[in-house]
């Protein structure tokens, strides 16, 4: 049964920016909630925008046609003014950023100060420059508006909310470790199964992209930066919490401060398009075959893992070898993420969150779950 709402619930005006894989699926899920307090008043792609508060979008098909026919170019200053005019004692605003844009991310402090809640799966703001993160935290505190980002780590899996509850209830986080990338999980679950050979590395990366797991440019997954961004978000969630038990973590200046081992062959650094990147990756298949063979010789498999080691103040992401009976080897399939929270209360047996960690349906669900937290 879906959430039900009182007819007197305050209205939440929703403005969606970014209508790609996740954005379109988010709108579909949003519009399928019966009698909800949400009104989809604006949609914006990279080239067009619509603001229609008097006739909010109601069906998944109509918004696409209306946006396609719009001649309005995106203008975030104007959108901010327009949305401000909708705030009243019975009506609030949520901006949902489903892009991976730095430009959109840089606007969160302004929007939070303007009284809008900000919800996003976009990792850029929370893992980028520390100054922007501080401005977001301050703006949210000043205005009482929320910034919610469950889908930035583990897509729809309850990772951020679990961490916030552990912190909020006073647990001491010792270490968080796991497979944080749906793309990397899929790639190595398929590539390194314990047998000495198998499908080529480049063909599997291509498959991950076709399934919608990768970032818009797959190099952003293979260079380890996507994992480094997620580790930065977790580290900051810990170090900016009010929990005094977790003070030994360094303040990361940005995700680039995470020790990260890239899987990009040096000649493929800086290739501008994902298509060209994939087509040239096949020239490096033998290098990856060799890594697989070396691990197999030791009866091990390859997995790309991330660690936030709070006790030792260490944050890192790298390709590691695991024995065949390790949970990272045995229990993962598809784009599964597995995240282990080692805490004081959870003692020697960690709290484990596991499941699909990429893909439009589960990511959009995490974004919509955040929106429901506003009601």
Ligand X SMILES: N[C@@H](CC=O)C(=O)O
Ligand Y SMILES: NC(=O)C1=CN([C@@H]2O[C@H](COP(=O)(O)OP(=O)(O)OC[C@H]3O[C@@H](n4cnc5c(N)ncnc54)[C@H](OP(=O)(O)O)[C@@H]3O)[C@@H](O)[C@H]2O)C=CC1
Q: Which residues bind Na ion (CB under 5 A)?
A: 150, 154, 157, 159, 366
Rounded CA-CA distance 279/206 in Å is: 9
**Partner interacting with residue 183 (select from ligand Y, ligand X, Na ion, none; CB below 5-8 Å by kind):** ligand X
Give catalytic status of residue 230 as yes or no. Answer: yes
Check the annotation: does 123 bind a ligand.
Answer: yes
Rounded CA-CA distance 340/179 in Å is: 9
- Using alpha carbons, select from 291, 132, 109, 108 the residue that is nearest to residue 197: 291
Q: How far is the CB of 213 from ligand X (least distance, A)?
A: 5
Q: How far is the CB of 244 from ligand Y (least distance, A)?
A: 31
Q: How far is the CB of 178 from Na ion (least distance, A)?
A: 12
Among residues 37, 109, 178, 212, which is the contact residue for ligand Y, using CB under 6 A?
Answer: 212
**Contact present, 261 and 134 (Cβ < 8 Å):** no
Tell me the pairing of strands 259-260 and 351-356: unpaired
Rounded CA-CA distance 36/58 in Å is: 11
- In the block, tokens 């038990």 appear at 245
Rounded CA-CA distance 221/355 in Å is: 18
Does position 22 interact with ligand Y (CB under 6 A)? The reply is yes
- Using alpha carbons, select from 90, 149, 148, 79 the residue that is nearest to residue 114: 79
* 47 burial level (CB within 10 Å; 0-12, 13-18, 19+): exposed
Of 124, 135, 174, 230, the catalytic one is 230
Touching ligand X, residues 142-171 (CB under 6 A): 155
Comparing CB distances to Na ion, the nearer of 37 and 359 is 359
Does position 98 interact with ligand Y (CB under 6 A)? The reply is yes
**Partner interacting with residue 42 (select from ligand X, ligand Y, Na ion, none; CB below 5-8 Å by kind):** none
Does position 44 interact with ligand Y (CB under 6 A)? The reply is yes
Does position 221 interact with ligand X (CB under 6 A)? The reply is yes
Taking CB positions, which residue lies at the least distance from ligand X?
183
Catalytic residue IDs: 230
Query: What residues are designated binding site?
Result: 18-23, 99, 123, 215
């Amino acid at each position: 049964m879906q959430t039900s709402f009182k007819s007197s619930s305050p209205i939440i005006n929703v403005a969606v920016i970014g209508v790609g894989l996740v954005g379109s699926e988010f709108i579909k899920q949003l519009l399928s909630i019966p009698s909800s307090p949400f009104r989809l008043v604006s949609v914006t792609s990279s080239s067009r925008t619509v603001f229609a508060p008097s006739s909010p979008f109601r069906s998944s098909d109509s918004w696409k046609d209306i946006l396609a026919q719009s001649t309005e170019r995106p203008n975030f200053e104007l959108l901010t003014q327009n949305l401000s005019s909708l705030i009243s004692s019975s009506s609030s605003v949520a901006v949902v950023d489903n892009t991976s844009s730095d430009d959109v991310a840089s606007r969160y402090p302004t929007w939070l100060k303007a009284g809008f809640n900000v919800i996003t799966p976009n990792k850029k703001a929370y893992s980028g420059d520390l100054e922007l993160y501080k401005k977001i935290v301050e703006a949210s505190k000043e205005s009482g508006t929320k910034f919610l980002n469950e889908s930035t780590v583990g897509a729809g899996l309850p990772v951020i909310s679990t961490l916030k509850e552990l912190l909020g209830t006073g647990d001491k986080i010792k270490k968080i470790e796991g497979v944080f990338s749906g793309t990397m999980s899929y790639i190595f679950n398929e590539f390194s199964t314990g047998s000495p050979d198998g499908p080529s590395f480049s063909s599997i990366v291509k498959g991950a992209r076709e399934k919608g797991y990768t970032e818009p440019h797959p190099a952003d997954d293979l260079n380890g930066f996507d994992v480094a961004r997620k580790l930065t978000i977790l580290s900051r969630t810990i170090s900016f919490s009010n929990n005094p038990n977790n003070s030994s973590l360094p303040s990361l200046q940005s995700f680039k401060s995470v020790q990260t081992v890239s899987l990009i062959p040096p000649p493929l650094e800086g290739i501008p398009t994902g298509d060209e990147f994939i087509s040239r990756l096949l020239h490096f298949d033998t290098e990856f075959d060799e890594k697989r063979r070396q691990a197999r010789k030791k009866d091990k498999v390859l997995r790309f893992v991330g660690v936030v080691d709070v006790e030792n103040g260490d944050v890192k992401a790298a390709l590691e070898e695991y024995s065949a009976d390790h949970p990272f080897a045995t229990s993962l399939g598809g784009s599964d993420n597995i995240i282990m929270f080692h805490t004081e209360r959870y003692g020697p047996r960690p709290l484990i969150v596991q499941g699909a960690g990429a893909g439009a349906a589960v990511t959009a669900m995490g974004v919509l779950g955040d929106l429901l937290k506003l009601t």
